[in-house]
Amino acid sequence: MKRDEGRGRIAVVTGGASGIGLATASVLIERGWRVVISDINAKANQESAAKIGAESVPFDVTDEHATETAFADIEARLGPIEALFANAGVIQSGGRAENLPLAEFDKVIAANLRGVYVSCLAAGKRMTKRGRGGIVITGSVTASRTAPLHAYAPSKAAAVHMAACLAADWGRSGVRVNAVSPGYVGTPPVLANIERGTRDPKLLIEGSALGRMVDPEEIGRGVAFLLSDDASAITGINLPIDAGWLASSHLTTYGGVPPAR
Catalytic residues: 152
For residues 225 and 21, what is the distance between their CA atoms, to the nearest angstrom? Answer: 15
Contact 186, 216 (CB under 8 A): yes
Which residues does residue 240 pair with via DSSP β-bridges, in sequence order?
181
Query: 7: left (phi > 0), else alpha (psi -120 to 50), else beta?
Result: left
- 235 backbone dihedrals φ, ψ, rounded to 5°: -155, 150
Contact 53, 79 (CB under 8 A): no
| Helix or strand run (H / E) with residue 126 | helix 115-130
Q: In 3-state terms, what secondary structure has residue 1? A: coil
